[in-house]
Amino acid sequence: MHPSYLGVFLTFARNSLIRDMTFRTNFIIEAISSVSWMIMNLGFYTLVYQFTPSIADWGKYEFFVFIATTMFINSLVQAFFMPNMQELSELVRTGGLDFALLKPIDTQFLVSLHRVNWSSLGNFFVALLLLAYSLPRIEGLQLSPWQYLLYPLYVFLGVWILYSVMIGLAATSIWLGRNQSLYDFWFYITNFSRYPMEIYDGPWGTPLQKFFTFVIPILVVINVPAQLMAKPLIDADWWLAGFAILATVFSLIASRWVFKLALRSYRSASS
Partner 1 sequence: MSAIEIRGLRKSYRVYQKKEGLWASLTGLFHREYREVDAVRGIDLDVEQGEFVAFLGPNGAGKTTTLKLLSGVISPTVGQARVLGHVPWERENSYRRKFALVMGQKNQLWWDLPAQESFRLHQKIYRIDPTEFDRTRDELVDLLEVRHLLGQPVRELSLGERMKMELTAALLHSPDVLFLDEPTIGLDVIAQHNIQKFLKHYQQQRKITILLTSHYMKDVAALCKRVVIIAHGDIMYDGSLAGIVDRFSGHKELTLQFADDRMPSDLARYGEVLEIVEPKARLRVERGSIAEVLSAVLANHSVEDVSVEDPPLEEVIAEMFALTADQSRESRDANRQPAQSVTQSS
Alpha-carbon distances, residue 50 vs 46, 60, 127, 139 (angstroms): 7, 9, 22, 17
**Residue 27 burial (CB count, 10 A):** 18
Beta bridge partners of 14: none
Burial of 172 (0-12, 13-18, 19+ CB in 10 A): middle
| Contact in structure between 89 and 170 (CB atoms under 8 Å) | yes
Angle, helices 145-176 vs 182-193, to 10°: value is: 150
User: Shortest Cβ distance from residue 3 to partner 1 (Å)?
Assistant: 5
Alpha-carbon distances, residue 247 vs 162, 229, 234 (angstroms): 11, 20, 20
Binding site for partner 1 (CB under 8 A): 1-4, 7-8, 11-12, 15, 18-19, 22-23, 94-96, 98-99, 101-105, 107, 264, 266-268, 271
User: Shortest Cβ distance from residue 90 to partner 1 (Å)?
Assistant: 13
Which of these, 48, 42, 30, lies nearest to 71 by C-alpha position? 42
Looking at the Cβ atoms of 243 and 266, the one nearer to partner 1 is 266
User: Shortest Cβ distance from residue 12 to partner 1 (Å)?
Assistant: 7
Ordered alpha helix ranges (H), 23-144: 24-48, 60-80, 82-94, 97-102, 107-113, 122-134
Looking at the Cβ atoms of 118 and 154, the one nearer to partner 1 is 118
Cα–Cα distance measured from residue 251 to residue 163, given in angstroms and rounded to the nearest whole number: 9
User: Shortest Cβ distance from residue 99 to partner 1 (Å)?
Assistant: 4
User: Shortest Cβ distance from residue 19 to partner 1 (Å)?
Assistant: 5
| Alpha-carbon torsion (174, 180, 185, 187), positive or negative | positive
Burial of 104 (0-12, 13-18, 19+ CB in 10 A): exposed
Identify the H or E element spanning 58. Answer: strand 58-59
User: Shortest Cβ distance from residue 103 to partner 1 (Å)?
Assistant: 5
Residues present in the chain in total: 271
User: Shortest Cβ distance from residue 4 to partner 1 (Å)?
Assistant: 6
User: Shortest Cβ distance from residue 252 to partner 1 (Å)?
Assistant: 21
